[in-house]
Amino acid sequence: METLDPLDAMMLTAELISSPMHVAVALIMTPPAGTSSTAFVDELYDQALTAADPVDPRLRRRPYRGVDTGGLWVWREVDELDMRHHVRRLTVAPDAGMTELWELVSELHAEPLDRSAPMWMAYLIDGLEGGRLALYIKIHHIVIDGVAGMKMIADSLSEDPDRRDMPPFYADATSPEPPRRRGLNPLSVVRDVAGVAASGLNLARNVASAEVTNLVGGLITPTIAAPFGAPHTRFNTKLGHQRAFAATSLDHNRIRAIQHAAGVTGNDVVTTLVAGVLREWLTAQDELPEQSLVALCPVTVRDRDATAGDNGHGNQFGLGLCPLATNRDDPAERLRLVHEAMAGVKHQVAARGPGAMLMVLMPSVVPTALGPLLPFSSWVRPSYNLPISNVPGPPRRSYLNGASVDEIYPVSVVYDGMALNVTLCSYADQIGVGYIADREVMADVDQLIPLTETALAELEAAVGVA
């Protein structure tokens, strides 16, 4: 048995009192010339059920906790997977558009994953307008994080449009040795405790240093968010059981042009873009706070070239709080402040380590998530209003058994205290933007799509990009 990492165990436990904690991706594809989407999906589905390829080791195990594990969450290997459980085939109404597809994705994303099996599902969907099809895959966050998940998707694709007989998307791309089983014996426990104690002093110093930086910085600069320093918004509430999803695609070259003109990073640009979208939407609802909204931003420490055989399992990221400058009218000034804030977040994660930053933010994250469940939630200010993530996808146009992957959209997680999540994913010369929200809080999430184009045009004008 292999124990779950503390962060993963916390996610799994939190799900019992909150919302499902899985992430997902939707691939929109055009089948090869001369092949209908129905025939192509039939072929993919049949292959998924009958292929003899080894399954990715991350998808062959499930979480388990019992008396025999001492109450600890551990991983249990599953010898034989029931692919009819994990892979489903769906057909939408004839010539359904993206609106209808996103409604279906919203329904699928609201359903929790079965803990009695490896926690992932895939849906092959045909019938879209233009003869296209979709592949929607959702995986629990304890199994994989966004960066590793997108790499797993990229590894299942090919840049060769003529390649056929590709392995299924769930196949192991590297064929590493299976994860080593580790028993829960006293010697291993003593060894682990000794290792923690040896590094504990350094971790404590980094945590204390980061706490002081955040507390002091939050008092003297608008680019550092202090704990419990975010304004109350409609997003910081208890969730219902339904989801609403919408997505759009941006020209990556437009983002690069702003990036170079302003001397910032691409992540700064898209984070500022989302800030502009939220500012406009909240203004239209007459709900824009005088104080800036704050985003919870993950910073990956995973090597983008890492394989599933080394550190492809679980979650490897730090967290930081980024003020979004939504109280500033000038998009250029908003971009400058976001750039300074994100530079500070990345510096703290790099200097103190992701573990220290997670520990620093846990006392802020947990009350933000649990606050809406308490009767006195209005007394406790949230530490952030929503998460914003930016995940790298395949850098070049890709194909699946000759089908062109036209667009890739991330579908992330929402939970109590955080009813809106914005995740972006680069792919070739595009950036897919996925907005997932609780339907009771934000049923009109599709209104953010035109606002995204408006905010991008405003940023271009503000930095002088034609």
Q: Residue 130, by phi and psi: left (phi above 0), alpha (psi -120 to 50) or beta?
A: left
User: Does the residue 389 lie in any domain?
Assistant: yes
Per the CB < 8 A criterion, the answer to whether 463 and 441 are in contact is no
User: Does the residue 65 lie in any domain?
Assistant: no
- Count structural domains, the chain: 1
Digit-coded pLDDT (tens) for 145-194: 778 888 899 999 999 999 998 999 899 976 444 444 333 333 333 333 33
Mean pLDDT of 37-53: 95
User: Does the residue 400 lie in any domain?
Assistant: no
The tokens describing 92, both together, are 């939408």
The tokens describing 33, both together, are 């010339």
What is the structure's pLDDT at 179? Answer: 42
What is the structure's pLDDT at 204? Answer: 39
- Least-confidence region, from 20-34, 125-139, 174-188: 174-188
User: Does the residue 248 lie in any domain?
Assistant: yes
What is the structure's pLDDT at 406? Answer: 98
- Least-confidence region, from 125-139, 171-185, 229-243, 318-332: 171-185
What is the structure's pLDDT at 357? Answer: 52
For the chain, give the number of residues.
466
Cβ-based burial of 449 (10 A; exposed 0-12, middle 13-18, buried ≥19): middle
Strand order in the sheet with 74-77: 2-3, 74-77, 61-64
What is the structure's pLDDT at 400? Answer: 97
What is the structure's pLDDT at 314? Answer: 46
Mean pLDDT of 415-421: 91
> Residues with Cβ < 8 Å from 80, sequence gap 6 or more?
none
Mean pLDDT of 211-232: 60
What is the structure's pLDDT at 214? Answer: 43
In this predicted model, which residue has the larger pLDDT, 350 or 298? 298
Q: Name the catalytic one among 22, 141, 313, 339.
A: 141
Q: Supply the CATH number for residue 240's domain.
A: 3.30.559.30
Mean pLDDT of 365-375: 62
Q: What is the DSSP string of 293-337?
A: PEEEEEEE-S-TT--TTTT-SB--EEEEEEE--TT-S-HHHHHHH
Count of other CB atoms within 10 angstroms of residue 152: 22
What is the structure's pLDDT at 127? Answer: 93
User: Does the residue 78 lie in any domain?
Assistant: no
Instruction: Provide the pLDDT confidence category of residue 370 given band limits of 50, 70 and 90.
Output: low
Mean pLDDT of 50-74: 92
In eight-state DSSP terms, residue 183 is -
Residue 255 belongs to what domain range?
Answer: 206-394+412-463
User: Does the residue 3 lie in any domain?
Assistant: no
Alpha helices in 119-224 (DSSP H): 146-155, 186-220
What is the structure's pLDDT at 215? Answer: 39
User: Does the residue 103 lie in any domain?
Assistant: no
Q: Is 141 a catalytic residue?
A: yes
Digit-coded pLDDT (tens) for 65-95: 999 998 899 999 998 899 999 999 999 998 8
Give me the percent of the chain exceeding a pLDDT of 70: 78
Give CA–CA dist 40/38, Å, rounded. Answer: 5
The tokens describing 51, both together, are 């292929």
Cβ-based burial of 47 (10 A; exposed 0-12, middle 13-18, buried ≥19): middle
What is the structure's pLDDT at 42? Answer: 97
Long-range contact set of residues 254-261: C-beta below 8 Å, sequence gap at least 24? 254/456, 254/460, 254/465, 255/431, 257/460, 257/465, 258/335, 258/459, 258/460, 258/463, 258/465, 261/463, 261/464, 261/465
Mean pLDDT of 36-62: 95
Give me the percent of the chain exceeding a pLDDT of 90: 61
The tokens describing 148, both together, are 């590793």
What is the structure's pLDDT at 359? Answer: 60
What is the structure's pLDDT at 186? Answer: 35
User: Does the residue 302 lie in any domain?
Assistant: yes
In this predicted model, which residue has the larger pLDDT, 430 or 376? 430
With tokens 């056929």, the residue in question is 164
What is the structure's pLDDT at 6? Answer: 77
Mean pLDDT of 195-208: 38
| Helix, strand or coil, per DSSP, at residue 458 | helix
Report whether pLDDT(387) > 60.
Answer: yes
Report whether pLDDT(126) > 60.
Answer: yes
What is the structure's pLDDT at 116? Answer: 93
Strand order in the sheet with 294-300: 243-251, 430-438, 420-427, 386-392, 294-300, 317-323
Give CA–CA dist 108/105, Å, rounded. Answer: 5
Mean pLDDT of 342-357: 70
